[in-house]
Structure 1
Amino acid sequence: MGRTARLTAGAVTGAALVAAVSGLAVPAYGATGGSLEVYPYSVVPGGQVTVNTKACGEKASAAGDASAVGAGRFTLAPSAHEGDAIGQFRVPESAQPGTYEIVAQCAEGDRQVKGDLMVTLTAPQQQVQPRGSVKTGVGGALGRDPVQTAAGVAALAVAAAGGTWLLHRRARGDGI
């Protein structure tokens, strides 16, 4: 007799959650055919921003609009980098913190793409690579002083030889 599958309330809830999250992952402007990539996503006033899109085609350009943040219009020109149209603008020093929508209108057709830019008052933290050693209080096998290292090796050799001699005597029955 075969098993029948039943949907539990948890499975239905999980499926609904996945559908809701998937719906949020697709931007509202996805239907217009592409997106506008903004780099860096987070910038301080006075910072340089680069935008690019593949939505306008291999050799197409676009007219960008960053007036929401106060930067005005800019041009996206065709690039040799994988068919992207690329442009740049500078965020004005007077820009207030917040999230701003940056828009580009493709020169050919009526395609419009959008991306978000976040203006902050503090620069994003750069990741620092660790350097040096960790001070744990436990030394390595070889210390920094060669005299101490030699003395430690000699002490270990004497202990090993003495232990071997005692085991040999005990095996012969001479006692300790």
Structure 2
Amino acid sequence: MLRRHPRYVVRALHRCAARPHVLFGGVYGAALASSMVAALTGRGETTPDDRLSSAQWLLVTAVASALAHGYAHLIARRGDHAVHGVRPVARLLLSEWPLVLATVPTLVLLLGAAWGWWPSQGIEYVAFAVNVVLLLLFAWGLFAARGGGRTWGSAVKVGAGDGLLGLVVVVANAVIK
């Protein structure tokens, strides 16, 4: 059995995470998850049943958004390339996995609150912080900057800026809804 050195595995993951469509899906998914949590908890309902309902809506919305993005890419490619058959269409739709994957931390937080793993009141603030600052938007910006050849110091600044911009977008989305 061929064993890979951990350094090569990390580099491969880094290259995958720095791809434009993966970055787009990750950032979009994180913003979508934060906006959904803000909109769904905007009415002040924080019971475990409400959190379960929010988790279900988040999952449905993430999958529907991924399918809509894949469908839009399919339509856009018809002008440039011939996309024939079920396999290329399925591959194109499945390529939107980063959007759905980026909503998983929020989904886990909401399900944990629904199942009593932690208090359901205030979980939206934790999800918001995880999505915007700690995990997704900051990390995606950091990975993109490092993938673009920036130094660690510069990449951290870019990640912080991306997290701040994501915060503005999410707050604007929540206010609009």
Identify the TM-score tier after normalising by the shorter chain: under 0.3
Give me the TM-score of the superposition, normalised by structure 2: 0.24
Higher helix share: 2
Give me the TM-score of the superposition, normalised by structure 1: 0.24
Higher strand share: 1
- The one of the two structures with greater contact order (alpha-carbon pairs below 8 A, sep at least 6) is 2
**Considering only CA atoms, is the larger Rg found in Structure 1 or Structure 2?**
1
